[in-house]
Amino acid sequence: MKLSHLPTRLATGAFLVNSGVEKLAATDDAAKLWHDRACVAFPFVRRLDPRVFARLLGLGELALGGALLSPMVPPATAGLGLTAFSTALLRLYLKTPGLTKEDGIRPTAQGTPLAKDVWMLGIGLSLILDAARPRRRMFRRRLGDRRRLQNSRVRAIQAIRRTA
């Protein structure tokens, strides 16, 4: 893990672990509220019992938070998970009536708690993009090594021809 990833992974991971623990200990009323909101954006969730949904959501948040906190999970993997999770939250925000103003994007007072989760999307995408960057550098290094090797071969052939 890069040192520059540490602050965002620690903050986001700790936030998600805490949120997951709270959802695992949720009351029936809280589980029903989360379930009802999720049903608006994701109709297939209706088939789940609200308590089961809250438990699955809590376990998912714990797993994602743990992945972000673990230095053994590559940045691209952690970023993909965070991007998927935050995209689902933003879909929930955009699809739920009353959370956005007339323009359909800017949050109302009730929508601000979900709209602020856009920061997780930014962090997830940053982890993915940053993980993709070193591969280009490595490719360039390999390309440079090939050129140097080819140049040394050409010089060796030229030296052989000069001596012959």
Residue 27's pLDDT band (boundaries 50, 70, 90)? very high
Residue 150's pLDDT band (boundaries 50, 70, 90)? confident
Per-residue model confidence (pLDDT) at position 144: 67
For the segment 63-85, what is each residue's pLDDT rounded down to a tens digit? 999 999 999 999 999 999 999 99
Chain length of the chain: 164
Greater confidence (69 vs 142) lies with 69
In terms of Cα–Cα distance, which of 81, 52, 55 is closest to 69? 81
Q: Please, which residues have CB within 8 angstroms of residue 114's CB and are 6 or more apart in sequence?
A: 89, 90, 92, 93, 96, 99, 107
**Is pTM beyond 0.85 here?**
no
Per-residue model confidence (pLDDT) at position 53: 96
| Percent of residues, the chain, with pLDDT higher than 70 | 91
Question: Which residue, chain included where needed, has tokens 């969730």?
Answer: 45
Q: Report whether 10 contacts 70 (CB < 8 A).
A: no
Per-residue model confidence (pLDDT) at position 157: 80
Give DSSP secondary structure letters for 82-116: HHHHHHHHHHHHHHSTTSB-TTSSSB-TTTHHHHT
CA distance 1 to 50: 37
Q: Is 64 exposed, middle or buried (0-12, 13-18, 19+ CB in 10 A)?
A: buried
Asked whether the predicted pLDDT for residue 135 surpasses 60, the reply is no
CA distance 81 to 126: 12
Residue 5's pLDDT band (boundaries 50, 70, 90)? confident
**Domain chopping of the chain, boundaries:** 3-134
Beta-strand ranges (E) seen in 9-85 are none
Q: Please, which residues have CB within 8 angstroms of residue 81's CB and are 6 or more apart in sequence?
A: 64, 67, 68, 124
